[in-house]
Amino acid sequence: MRVIAGLVKGMKLKSPKGLETRPTTDRVKESIFSMINPYIIDSIILDLFAGTGGLGIEALSRGAQKVYFIDSNKNSIEVIKENVKQAGFEQESIILFREVQKAIKECSLSENKVDVIFMDPPYLKGFIVPCIHAINTEEILNEEGIIVVEHDLKDLLPDQIGRFIKVKEKKYGNTRITIYAGEA
């Protein structure tokens, strides 16, 4: 697992030991960023279920302004801190050890809305729809913002969740990437 492009291209990322974290493969990460590249420059990113921090670090490497890394696993938080430090992105990163729903609520208290939300929750555990409903309720995503969800192929998501409409979907082996944007 490595950073694919940008300032720290080629940097290897550390992963937590064990099977609790399933890092995004380089192939899937490359595909995600080719789909959303115009949204990245100078953006504020929320990386939910951040795991290794790979998606957020990739975004920073490609020119994002700031990333909020959220995870409820202490091992993942330690790995994210190490990876962010190794990449030299401490100033652009906020790393929070939080349950995701609480983090979404906290984000609503901030004056700054986010531009891109990455969600890579544990597969087939039912986290996606409730999180997107919370994002909708708390209004933390800019009107032009997007939600990028990495999930299991068997996890079929609805075409609309709150004000968010499915705008793109791609399959990669057992993984599916679904992108939601706000209703116009």
Is position 21 within any domain? no
139, pLDDT greater than 80: yes
Is position 155 within any domain? yes
Is position 116 within any domain? yes
CA nearest neighbour of 46 among 132, 147, 176, 161: 147
For residue 33, what are the domain limits? 26-182
Is position 168 within any domain? yes
Q: Average pLDDT in the 110-123 region? A: 91
Is position 8 within any domain? no
> For position 145, which CATH number holds?
3.40.50.150
| Token representation of residue 77 | 């938080």
Contact 151, 180 (CB under 8 A): no
Q: Average pLDDT in the 116-124 region? A: 94
Provide the domain count of the chain. 1
Is position 165 within any domain? yes
Is position 65 within any domain? yes
Q: List, for residues 43-86, the tens digit of each pLDDT value.
A: 999 999 999 999 999 999 999 999 999 999 999 999 999 999 99
Is position 2 within any domain? no
